[in-house]
Amino acid sequence: MKSLEEALNHKVGLGTAPLGNMFREVPEDEAQTTIQTAWDQGVRYFDTAPFYGAGLAEMRVGEVLSKYNRDDYVISTKVGRYVLDEKEEKEGLFQYARNNKVITDYTEDATERSIEQSLERLKTDRLDMVFVHDVSPDFHGEEWTAKFEEARKGAFRVLTRLREEGVIRSWGLGVNTTEPIELAMMLEETQPDVCLSATQYTLLQHEHALQRMMPTAEKKGIDIVVGSPYNSGVLLGGDHYNYEKAGPEILDRVNQLNKIGGKYDVPLKAAALQFSTAHPAVKAVIPGSTHPGRIIEDIEMIQRDIPKQFWNELVEKGFIAENAPLPIHSK
């Protein structure tokens, strides 16, 4: 069975939220080709979740990966939501998802139910990593601490037991803010060993993560997987920032980064991937895509030579925090 380190091709895995029809409807053949291309390029780590399209992304991942030896790849999925046969109208991020109703629930029973469903959709008998999904202020507002407590008494304990039993290899949180991860790392009775931090440790946004989350993870030996390294695509010219429409201030910042990148012939995709993976706590970065060509590009960009002068200018102009680790292989 591959470990996460063994499964990584230059620290790049595949995030599959877009393959759950996030923002748009993705044709089945396009989704399958994207996953297959990732595999053909040597990607062996795939992250998914029941929330991504009401199980659609998991189904698509399972369809492709079930053709291969289970010991040859690593899967992470999430708990905190399970899917019903009952139908509902969709809106928001996944308005083009399957119309099955999705229930948010961090209790023990719901966690076990979620895992059973994921195993079925993924066509596998085991999971490598399981993240407690979105137990965070951006999804639950002021109620997030109550949801965290529900997860502490439910999902955290179930996943700790399953890890001890060898049913899963590791678990942690999968969230878009730093506070839940920081809180989970302080617990004594249930200790995560890997956490997925989306949008928070990127070229565009990382100062807050460097205050507590990243140093604590490094000190405790808790691995970090970086999700959404392009902040929902705005770093690559998209109009979404952290899953919402980007404002003029963010767009101006990206424009300034692009100008500096142009000066040194550095695409922001290369800079984003290499910056996020430069921190010693980060074990993987999982950009998401629905286009096969972009998977190939991701692999190329994380290997691209970037001059030290580029990084130095970003630090000097305040785009990168002075205490942020920089890629050591830059020329």
Which residue in 52, 73, 106, 243 is the catalytic one? 52
Task: Please confirm, yes or no, whether 47 is among the known catalytic residues.
Answer: yes
* Selected catalytic residue, list 11, 45, 47, 298: 47
pLDDT tens for each residue of 32-84:
999 999 999 999 999 999 999 999 999 999 999 999 999 999 999 999 999 99
pLDDT above 70 covers what percent of the chain?
97
**Can 109 be counted among the known catalytic residues?**
no
Confidence of residue 203 (pLDDT cuts 50, 70, 90): very high
**Residue 52 is a catalytic residue:** yes
Q: Which of 11, 45, 73, 78 is catalytic?
A: 78
At 84 the pLDDT is 97
Fold designation for 4-15+31-44+66-72+119-317: TIM Barrel (3.20.20)
- Cross-strand partners of 46: 14, 75
In Å, the largest CA–CA distance within the chain is 56
**In the chain, what are the domain boundaries?**
4-15+31-44+66-72+119-317
Report how far apart, in Å, the C-alpha atoms of 189 and of each of 34, 111, 156, 171 are: 40, 18, 9, 14
Would you state the pLDDT for residue 26? 93
| Interval 248-304: pLDDT, tens | 999 999 999 999 999 999 999 999 999 999 999 999 999 988 888 888 999 999 999
- The pLDDT of residue 4: 73
Report pTM: 0.94
**pLDDT tens-digit series, residues 158-186:** 999 999 998 899 999 999 999 999 999 99
Res 324 pLDDT > 90: yes
Distance between CA atoms of residues 172 and 76, nearest Å: 10
